[in-house]
């Protein structure tokens, strides 16, 4: 059977045309959004805009679906948001067949960097990817109000930039204080993760500790490292016994020698493992030790609540 060369040529042309317009990214992303962090930064720098990052689970997270339907697909958002923001969709769907390998790898890299703990999470960042606002969840806020809240955060960016500009005009401890004020405007864990160079400079500038910033940020860095290590241990819990997990926690304590809030995080995590293994008295003891390690933290408040509700222990 002979094949018509004309038919083959036409079929090839059609296939080429389709592949040129239907790429994995084109399928996965909505109109006006990009899925490339590098492209978003380049566009933001070129156009003098901020980046609006949406961390989402598009095919399994109900609040994410509601946010996209009620806000991002609304006419007011589609018309007004691109005037202030470059829109970046960072998706972690169950069905990844429409995503490129690069997009999936990008998510795995950015999620821990931006301290993703829940979906959806919205982050506003400058053209370098340095965040100045983060908000989690969605509670059916109308599109117009949702957008107004985000655009209103430009005042935070302006304030941060003002502190950074003033810091460039001074040296030593005074510079450290201004840098501290700049990054204190955002979530502390997010700042430690995404302003690491600034944090290291603050510690160096306050080497003698006169401003109290060296201790503050060294402690914050340790807590960040501890939480990352604990997250890795938690990720392997399904494939290990409680005894194996506890051994890893004990090794972490031995290596890091955490104090204060860092020690509190480790003891709290260890208490959960022990509680789930059935040793309630040992879990209670560890929680009380964790509370004592850093009594003024938010984690201590959380521990107080657990001790009262679960163990009937008063503050």
Identify the structural domains of the chain with CATH numbers, from first to last. Answer: 24-152 (3.40.30.10), 153-211 (no CATH), 236-315 (1.25.40)
Res 29: pLDDT: 54
Strands (E), the chain: 33-34, 50-56, 85-91, 121-125, 131-136
222-247 pLDDT, tens digit per residue, is 998 898 899 889 888 888 899 999 99
Res 198: pLDDT: 97
Edge-to-edge strand list for the sheet holding 85-91: 33-34, 85-91, 50-56, 121-125, 131-136
Nearest of 179, 69, 55 to residue 110 by alpha carbon? 55
Asked if 203 contacts 214 with a C-beta cutoff of 8 angstroms, the reply is yes
Q: Write 146-153 long-range contacts (CB < 8 A, 24+).
A: 146/71, 146/77, 147/71, 147/76, 147/77, 147/80, 147/81, 150/52, 150/81, 150/84, 150/85, 150/122, 150/124, 151/84, 153/124
Res 181: pLDDT: 98
Question: Could you say which DSSP state residue 74 is in?
Answer: S
Res 315: pLDDT: 61
Burial class (CB in 10 A: 0-12, 13-18, 19+), 84: middle
Res 49: pLDDT: 98
Give 3-state DSSP helix, strand, coil % of the chain, rounded to 5: 65, 10, 25
Q: What is the pLDDT along the chain (315 residues), one digit of tens a residue?
A: 344 444 333 333 333 333 333 334 434 457 899 999 999 999 999 999 999 999 999 999 999 999 999 999 999 999 999 999 999 999 999 999 999 999 999 999 999 999 999 999 999 999 999 999 999 999 999 999 999 999 999 999 999 999 999 999 999 999 999 999 999 999 988 999 999 999 999 999 999 999 999 999 999 999 988 988 998 898 888 888 999 999 999 999 999 999 999 999 999 999 999 999 999 999 999 999 999 999 999 899 999 999 999 998 876
């Amino acid at each position: 059977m002979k094949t018509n060369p004309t038919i083959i040529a036409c079929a090839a042309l059609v296939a080429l045309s389709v592949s040129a317009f239907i790429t994995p990214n084109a399928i996965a992303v909505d109109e006006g959004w990009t899925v490339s962090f590098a492209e978003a930064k380049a566009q933001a720098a070129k156009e003098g805009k901020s980046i609006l990052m949406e961390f989402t689970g598009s095919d399994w997270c109900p609040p994410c679906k509601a946010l996209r339907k009620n806000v991002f697909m609304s006419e007011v958002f589609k018309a007004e948001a691109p005037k202030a923001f470059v829109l970046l969709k960072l998706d972690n769907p169950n069905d990844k067949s429409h995503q490129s390998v690069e997009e999936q790898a990008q998510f795995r890299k950015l999620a821990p960097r931006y301290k993703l703990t829940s979906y959806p999470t919205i982050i506003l960042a400058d053209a370098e990817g340095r965040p100045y606002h983060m908000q989690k969840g969605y509670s059916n806020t109308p599109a117009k109000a949702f957008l107004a809240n985000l655009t209103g955060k430009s005042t935070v960016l302006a304030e941060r930039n003002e502190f950074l500009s003033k810091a460039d005009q001074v040296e030593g401890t005074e510079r450290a204080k201004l840098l501290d004020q700049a990054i204190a405007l955002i979530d502390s864990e997010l700042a430690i993760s995404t302003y690491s160079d600034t944090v290291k400079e603050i510690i160096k500038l306050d080497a003698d500790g006169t401003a109290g910033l060296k201790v503050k940020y060294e402690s914050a860095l340790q807590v960040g490292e501890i939480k990352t290590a604990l997250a890795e241990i938690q990720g392997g819990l399904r494939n290990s016994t409680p005894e194996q997990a506890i051994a890893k926690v004990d090794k972490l304590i031995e290596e890091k020698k955490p104090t204060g809030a860092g020690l509190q995080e480790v003891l709290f995590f260890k208490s959960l493992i022990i509680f789930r293994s059935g040793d309630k008295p040992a879990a209670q003891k560890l929680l009380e030790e964790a509370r004592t390690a850093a009594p003024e933290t938010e984690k201590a408040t959380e521990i107080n609540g657990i001790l009262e509700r679960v163990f009937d222990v008063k503050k």
